[in-house]
């Protein structure tokens, strides 16, 4: 299952821990954290994040300087960058946008709403490469879910398979809408509801199979 890769750069360990807790609870995201811009630049090209969250005020190399380095490299020039900063006055926001930032998340931020804020910035970025990558994800996840569909028939204790399906459904429900695949989102949410019901005994496996088949049909149209 392919999730949205987010790189977070902040020299404050408490802030990194807060972001890790917030995004770590959402399976739509895979997060990596760095304490400095130089550490981040060392890994960004190979890991290829979908979005980078950068603190503005950092020692050695601040956020705007890191953004400038990213824009100089062909392989990182198109990665959306969002500054995370207490400097969020209108004039400063305009300056950050002029530097090429996708947007700004103001400090202090609400960890509960941070995942949706990150999704919003990804929607705003709207890069073609990201969209193409999600299409490949749909193809890969459809194959994995089809394999889960077969496992449901063969496994006498399907709880583990159901939990695996729920993870896929939850991640797809959270990510698909970013790229305009709202039908995938609706069917993934429905599948997750039915799977949760099957795990607690309020629905049955046949209902899971029907919901899963509907989601697979929608995914395979893409």
Mean pLDDT of all residues in 46-64: 92
Among 126, 161, 187, which residue terminates a domain? 126
* Token digits of residue 88: 């969020």
CB 141 within 8 A of CB 110: no
In this structure, the answer to whether residues 107 and 55 fall within a common structural domain is yes
The pLDDT value given to residue 128: 47
The pLDDT value given to residue 100: 86
Does position 96 have pLDDT exceeding 70, yes or no? yes
In this structure, the answer to whether residues 210 and 152 fall within a common structural domain is yes
pTM over 0.75? The answer is no
Tens of pLDDT along 109-125? 999 999 999 988 887 77
Does position 165 have pLDDT exceeding 80, yes or no? yes
In this structure, the answer to whether residues 136 and 209 fall within a common structural domain is yes
In this structure, the answer to whether residues 27 and 107 fall within a common structural domain is yes
Does position 38 have pLDDT exceeding 80, yes or no? yes
In this structure, the answer to whether residues 105 and 134 fall within a common structural domain is no
Closest CA to 73 of 37, 41, 34: 41
Helical H segments across 126-181, by residue range: 128-154, 159-175
Name the band, by pLDDT with cuts 50, 70 and 90, for residue 28. confident
In this structure, the answer to whether residues 120 and 208 fall within a common structural domain is no
Q: How wide is the angle at C-alpha 74 spanned by C-alphas 68 and 79, nearest 5°?
A: 65
In this structure, the answer to whether residues 103 and 137 fall within a common structural domain is no
Among 59, 92, 126, which residue terminates a domain? 126
CB 179 within 8 A of CB 133: no
Residue 104: CA atoms inside 13 Å, Cβ hemisphere, count? 22
In this structure, the answer to whether residues 109 and 187 fall within a common structural domain is no
The pLDDT value given to residue 131: 60
Give the percent of the chain with pLDDT over 70: 94
In this structure, the answer to whether residues 113 and 181 fall within a common structural domain is no
Closest CA to 164 of 31, 30, 1: 1
The pLDDT value given to residue 214: 96
In this structure, the answer to whether residues 158 and 100 fall within a common structural domain is no
CATH code at position 96: 3.40.50.2300
Domain count, the chain: 2
Among 82, 99, 126, which residue terminates a domain? 126
The pLDDT value given to residue 177: 79
CATH code at position 151: 1.20.120.160
Check the CA dihedral 22-26-28-31 and report its sign.
Answer: positive
- Beta-sheet pairing, 51-55 with 29-34: unpaired
In this structure, the answer to whether residues 23 and 34 fall within a common structural domain is yes
The pLDDT value given to residue 200: 93
Which structural domain range is residue 196 located in?
A: 129-220
CB 171 within 8 A of CB 195: no
Does position 60 have pLDDT exceeding 80, yes or no? yes
How high is the mean pLDDT of the chain?
88
Mean pLDDT of all residues in 179-204: 92
In this structure, the answer to whether residues 38 and 101 fall within a common structural domain is yes
């Amino acid at each position: 299952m392919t999730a949205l890769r987010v790189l977070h750069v902040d020299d404050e360990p408490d802030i990194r821990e807060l972001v890790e807790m917030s995004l770590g609870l959402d399976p739509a995201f895979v997060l990596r954290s760095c304490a400095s811009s130089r550490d981040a630049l060392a890994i960004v090209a190979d890991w290829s994040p979908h979005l980078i969250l950068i603190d503005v005020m950092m020692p050695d190399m601040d956020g705007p300087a890191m953004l400038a380095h990213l824009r100089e490299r062909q392989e990182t020039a198109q990665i959306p960058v969002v500054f995370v900063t207490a400097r969020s006055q209108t004039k400063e926001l305009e300056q950050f946008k002029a530097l090429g930032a996708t947007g700004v998340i103001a400090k202090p931020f609400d960890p509960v709403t941070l995942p949706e804020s990150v999704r919003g910035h990804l929607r705003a970025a709207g890069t073609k490469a990201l969209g193409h990558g999600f299409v490949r994800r749909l193809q890969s996840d459809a194959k994995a879910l089809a394999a889960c569909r077969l496992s449901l028939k063969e496994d006498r204790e399907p709880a583990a398979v159901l939990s695996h399906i729920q993870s896929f459904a939850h991640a797809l429900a959270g990510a698909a809408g970013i790229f305009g695949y709202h039908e995938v989102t609706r069917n993934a949410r429905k599948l997750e509801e039915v799977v949760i019901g099957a795990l607690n005994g309020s629905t049955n496996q046949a209902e899971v199979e029907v919901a899963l088949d509907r989601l697979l049909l929608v995914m395979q149209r893409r």
